[in-house]
Amino acid sequence: EIALLAERGTPGRFLFPRPMTDRPGLDFSFSGLKTSTLTTWQQCRSAGDDGEQTRCDIALAFQQAVVETLTIKCRRALKQTGLNSLVIAGGVSANLALRQSLEEMLGELKGKVFYARPRFCTDNGAMIAYAGCQRLLAGQQDGPEISVQARWPMETLAVV
């Protein structure tokens, strides 16, 4: 829905923060961006400016902030790993603005970005369940000792 509204948005009417892009590292959080977006919407509603065009303008500004943030973080990840290929998956990978931004960035780096056709870019939970089903069918299983962490610093992950 955000992408559909954003298509009709007016560029530049609203500007939202690009979270955690001014600090090194790959971590990111969109909680501040969500708060900023909600505050802007509430201010617009209070001023009687809560029509369809305002919704589209806010959606565009939100989408631009998310796309720019993810593109910056992906560029950093590629630089840190020395890789020049990127795979995006899950629901976010269906967003055409994100695809275009990542393709432009990887073009500058002489790299490639890979993603499924939009109809296969569904909810991450469904994709994880499908991957688990495929592993189970292949006879692969994880034991009960698997470690679950709510917060997992990017620096601790290995490049595969």
- pLDDT of 138 reads 92
The rounded distance, in Å, linking the Cα atoms of 132 and 38 is: 36
Please give the residue that has the higher pLDDT: either 11 or 134.
11
- Give domain 1-83's CATH number out of 3.30.530.80, 3.30.420.40, 2.30.110.10, 3.30.365.10: 3.30.420.40
Domain ranges of the chain: 1-83, 85-140
Confidence bin at 90 (pLDDT 50/70/90): confident
- Give this prediction's pTM: 0.79
- pLDDT of 158 reads 65
In this structure, what DSSP letter does residue 85 have?
Answer: E
Mean pLDDT, residues 69-94 taken together = 93
Q: Where are the alpha helices (DSSP H) in 27-150?
A: 31-46, 52-81, 96-108, 124-137
Report, in angstroms and rounded to the nearest whole number, the Rg of the chain calculated over CA atoms: 18
| pLDDT tens, residue by residue, 49-76 | 999 999 999 999 999 999 999 999 999 9
Mean pLDDT, residues 148-156 taken together = 72
